[in-house]
Structure 1
Amino acid sequence: MVLVMGLQRMLCGVRRLPPTHTTSPPSCVAGFHVASTEPDTQYHQIKDSVSGKVREIAYKKTSGPKDVGLVYIPGFMGHKGGGKPLALHPFTQQYGFPYVRYDPSGLGESKGLNKTETLFSTWLEDAAQILEHVTEGPQIIVASSMGNWITCHLANKVPDKFLGIVMLAPAINFHHRYKKVLFSQLHPEALKKFMEGEIVKLYSPDYGEFPLKNEQFEAMQKYEVNLDKGNIQLTCPVRIIHGMKDKDVPHLESLTLVSALQSQDVHLTYLKESGHTLNDPASLEVIFDTILKLDHQIHHPHEEPPS
């Protein structure tokens, strides 16, 4: 059964959930050492099957006694140093989750490609490699924005890794809308360069400066996901969190996504006062609580989640 949660929050705002993530860790992680510093950056090498060029994906990995890990898949131009993946580090340490976050090719500390050389297929391969070769055992995937589009494709590539998914402001097939925005806002001269395949540098207060090429969007077309009812072959539990003040991805698109997912265990939570990034304290509290309840359900499928 598909359960849509949080619709009443449209009228009354965000319901402050009990701060479960600030209480003592569960007994299964008693005595586990919580690191006070950031883990060292490590690198995973990927050799391109066509060009033979080697790139190195930077990642940070922490251990934990739990048998279910967390892996964070960032959105468009996102990386392991963003607000949400950083906030997840102390949370996963407190509750004993093994945790992996990484920089997609061309971003952060990753090496071998620059931003303008990367395509959707590059980032898809990055995520698949991290899941297959860096994470250990089954995972709860926490994906942000475009990372959810990548996740939809990964489900067929590495299904054994998927125990549950927390989708944050999912941006499936976002390239159509993004190009429309570019066409409406770019100066005619910049738009001409963009359409001719040249690099156009853009700036966003939320994301800083980033270069774009038309090729990146054209290459996304072959990865479009059919959002017809039941077409997305994700069968594990899915939790979707979307801010109603999201200016990048309309929150009602998540309703379409709920219908497209094959899973019968889907919850959709709307946060009235949150935007696209979901990295404010209230949104993070909901994300943490959602992960804990999903983990409880995975281990105790016939019990009610803790309130």
Structure 2
Amino acid sequence: MVSMLKTPQGRRIAYHKTDGVGPTVVFLGGLKSDMEGTKAIHLEEWARTRGQAFLRFDYSGHGESSGTFEDGCIGDWHEDTVAAVSALTEGPLVVVGSSMGGWQALLLAKAMPERIVGLVTIAAAPDFTEDSYWAGFDDAQKAALEAVGYVDLPSDYMEPYRITRRMIEDGRKRLVLRTPLSLPFPVWFLQGTEDTAVTSETAIKLIEHADGTDMQLLMVKGKDHRFSDQFCLKLIETKVEAVLKASEVA
């Protein structure tokens, strides 16, 4: 049964928590995804099998949490993440972030570096509101964003995204590739070469920009943004286990 958490901002966040030994593995989903996605459920089953503490949740405006997607922005979802992690977990964390959740994972690493001991990202999409959306808007879209307050963008994976002016403006306050980004713990970045939502260039830019002594990028030929077939799920599982093991001896 889903549980609910009220955040300091008054939002209601739906979550599932699995008790077990630490570090707690926290899954952060992508834009317009929810905690019932294939990767989140697979990792929860993996965690339960090995007795590992695990947390998955829906950002506000996603899944079973309160609010609407169109009213949200990167900063709101960062607040949701900090609230969920602070209230529902204790001790060290290994964070797994998918797509927009990869950006959220990097923001969490900046917000509470003392708690994170490992990181795995899957098609991480840092700064996408600026580098993908805003950079890709034509003059008509920029004008519509100013006049109407939103534009609708097609997606290869679901119904169109409604991107608001607030999301773009808030995203500029949350950029992580323009300032130093310290990741002083074991890190794996996973990326499919056939991903049309997040390019391989983004993955390379991230690993080149971030600062850390145990950081690896794995490009997986032929895999797309979903990264959720059996091969990819096993790969994610393996890399989370590798990060957990590395964190024990660090």
- Equivalent pairs: percent with the same residue? 25
Q: In 2, distance between residues paired with 1:225 and 1:68?
A: 25
Q: Secondary structure at the match of 1:47?
A: coil
When the two structures are superposed, what TM-score results if normalisation uses the length of structure 2? 0.91
Amino acid corresponding to residue 89 of structure 1 in structure 2: E
Which of 92, 97, 109 is residue 143 of structure 1 equivalent to? 97
Show CA shifts across 1:247-300 (max 9, x none).
Answer: 111113222211222211001111001111211111111111111122222224
Size of the aligned set, in residue pairs, is: 249
Show CA shifts across 1:82-111 (max 9, x none).
Answer: 221122121111121111001001111111
Show CA shifts across 1:158-202 (max 9, x none).
Answer: 223201000111111111312344549xxx6x7754442344455
Q: In 2, distance between residues paired with 1:209 and 1:252?
A: 24
Which of 21, 27, 33 is residue 78 of structure 1 equivalent to? 33
Contact residue 71 and residue 135 of structure 1 kept, 8 A: no
Contact residue 132 and residue 158 of structure 1 kept, 8 A: no
Q: Secondary structure at the match of 1:93?
A: helix
Report the counterpart of residue 163 of structure 2 in structure 1: 212
Q: In 2, distance between residues paired with 1:199 and 1:259?
A: 33
Q: Secondary structure at the match of 1:246?
A: coil
Q: In 2, distance between residues paired with 1:191 and 1:75?
A: 24
Q: Secondary structure at the match of 1:269?
A: strand
Q: Secondary structure at the match of 1:152?
A: helix
Q: In 2, distance between residues paired with 1:227 and 1:202?
A: 25
Q: Secondary structure at the match of 1:254?
A: helix
* Structure 1 segments unaligned to the other structure (5+ residues): 1-39, 49-53, 302-307
1:47 maps onto 2:8 in alignment: yes
Report the counterpart of residue 34 of structure 1 in structure 2: none
Q: In 2, distance between residues paired with 1:227 and 1:257?
A: 11
Show CA shifts across 1:209-268 (max 9, x none).
Answer: 54332221122112122357xx20221111110011111111132222112222110011
Amino acid corresponding to residue 247 of structure 1 in structure 2: T
Report the counterpart of residue 62 of structure 2 in structure 1: 107
Q: Secondary structure at the match of 1:98?
A: strand
1:287 maps onto 2:243 in alignment: no
> What is the root-mean-square deviation in Å for CA atoms of aligned residues?
2.1
* Structure 2 segments unaligned to the other structure (5+ residues): none
Instruction: Quote the offset at 1:208 in angstroms.
Output: 3.2
Which of 41, 53, 75 is residue 98 of structure 1 equivalent to? 53
Contact residue 98 and residue 122 of structure 2 kept, 8 A: yes
1:169 maps onto 2:118 in alignment: no
Q: Secondary structure at the match of 2:30?
A: coil
- Larger C-alpha radius of gyration, 1 or 2? 1
